[in-house]
Structure 1
Amino acid sequence: MLLRLPTSVSEARECLAEGAVPIGGATLVWATWQRDGFPDLAVSLRQLPEANVLGRETVGAAVVLQRVDGRVPDVLRLAAATVGTGAVRRTATVGGNLVGSTLRCLLPAALVLDARATVLESDGVHETDLAELVAKRPLLLSLRWRDPVACAYRKLAGEAGGPPPLVVASAVHADDRGHRLRVAVRDGYDVLTGSAAARGTDADETLHALTGTALGDLPVPAWGVVRSQITGLLGARSAD
């Protein structure tokens, strides 16, 4: 297998045109390749500047999860910190987790940040939403979002060999009409989202509005976790 390490977007585009397979951190594909055979050509973005950005409102696809720290909002930092073991986080990348994984542990956090994805396809670089990113699985370069007013994240403990653990992520954003709460829940392999106006510290009113979204179909135990997180998040925001 020949591994290409482009240092520019144009070089990365050439790799795709040649049929190179994105490798990410290889934590998800290595075992499959050992079993089924390695591709002739692979591409890694670890030397591409556009894929290595890291800041309060952006993260690159080639950034390993261990590097996702206090420079990003807590909801994303905590999501990255709960993926696998320390050894996995030192190798696994943001792009590999979002595009290559069936669990997509970072997806709820990215959704509540209302992130947009910068992707590279055969026709060049363009921006898309997370729904298209997950559905079409293009080569992700980076994510961008607006810094939230407040955010929270919780991942419940899971059983070995059992279903994926419940994940609840939330964030409050300022807009022209005040503040808006976004919530994303991973229940099994499904990720459900909802949003509602965040009116002051009245968590009950906000939670009632969320029951009219896809989150209203959550089982009672999962909804209890959502209620607890939103109550705490809105209360902490008022204290600030």
Structure 2
Amino acid sequence: MLLRLPTSVSEAQECLAEGAVPIGGATLVWAAWQRDGFPEQAVSLREVPEANIIGREVLGSAVMLHQVGGPVPEVLRRAAASVGTGAVRRTATVGGNLVGSTLRCLLPPAVVLDARCTVLEPHTVYETDLAEVVAKRHLLLSLRWREPIASGYRKLSAEAGGEPPLVIACAVHADGDAGNRLRVAVRDGYEVLSASTAYDTDAEQVLHALQGTELGSLHTTARDVVRQEVTTLLDRLADR
């Protein structure tokens, strides 16, 4: 297998046009290739600057999970730090976790940040939403979002080999003249549910509003953890 390492978006597009298969951090595809056979050529975005950027409102797809820090919102930092072992986080990438993984630990944080995706194709680069990227498994170049006022993340413990651990992500954003808005996303099993509501200092009022969304269908344990995380986030904002 020939591994190609383009250094620009245009070079990466040439690789894709010539049939190279995206490899990401290879933590997910390697075992499948060993089982099913290796492609003739693969392409990694690890040398493409746009795929390696880390900022307050942007994160490249080739950034390895252990590098997610600094200016990135708390909800994304904590999610990346919770994935697998240190060895996994030193090879797994943002794009691989969001698009290639069935667990997608970074998806709830990306949802509450209302992130948009820049997608790379052989003949175009365009922006779209998370739902399309996840459903169609596009080649992600980067994520972009508006910096939240505050955010939080929690992953419950789970038995190895069992159901994926429950994940709760939440963030409050300024919403112009409409005031601030709270977004919450929950990974329950392999499904991610999300909802948003107007921010209010009264936690009970906010939780009541969320109960009327699809989050109201969660089981008791998940609802209790959502209550805890939302209350904690609102209390943090009240103390500012």
CA–CA distance in structure 1, aligned partners of residues 105 and 4 of structure 2: 27
Matched residue of 2:229: which SS? Answer: helix
* Distance apart, 1:144 and its partner CA: 0.5
CA–CA distance in structure 1, aligned partners of residues 123 and 215 of structure 2: 37
Matched with 1:41 is: 41
Matched with 1:133 is: 133
CA–CA distance in structure 1, aligned partners of residues 121 and 55 of structure 2: 24
Alignment RMSD = 0.7
Q: Deviations over 1:56-113 (max 9, x none)?
A: 1110000000000132011000000000000000000000000100000100001001
* Distance apart, 1:19 and its partner CA: 1.3
Matched with 2:116 is: 116
Matched with 2:194 is: 193
The 5 Å alignment of 1:1-240 reads 1-176=1-176, 177-199=178-200, 201-240=201-240
Counterpart residue type for residue 212 of structure 1? G
Counterpart residue type for residue 51 of structure 1? A
CA–CA distance in structure 2, aligned partners of residues 130 and 213 of structure 1: 20
CA–CA distance in structure 2, aligned partners of residues 123 and 23 of structure 1: 19
CA–CA distance in structure 1, aligned partners of residues 125 and 70 of structure 2: 28
Q: Deviations over 1:142-180 (max 9, x none)?
A: 000011001000000010110000000000000121110
* Distance apart, 1:231 and its partner CA: 0.6
Moved beyond 3 Å, runs of 4+: none
Counterpart residue type for residue 185 of structure 2? A
CA–CA distance in structure 2, aligned partners of residues 180 and 53 of structure 1: 27
Normalising to structure 2: TM-score of the pair?
0.98
Matched length? 239
CA–CA distance in structure 2, aligned partners of residues 65 and 108 of structure 1: 15
Q: Which segment is superposed worse, 14-23 or 74-83? A: 14-23
Q: Which runs of 5+ in 1 are unaligned?
A: none
* Distance apart, 1:123 and its partner CA: 3.5
Identity %: 72
Q: Deviations over 1:3-54 (max 9, x none)?
A: 1111111111111111111001100011111111111010000000010000
* Distance apart, 1:122 and its partner CA: 3.2
CA–CA distance in structure 1, aligned partners of residues 211 and 127 of structure 2: 31
Matched residue of 2:141: which SS? Answer: strand
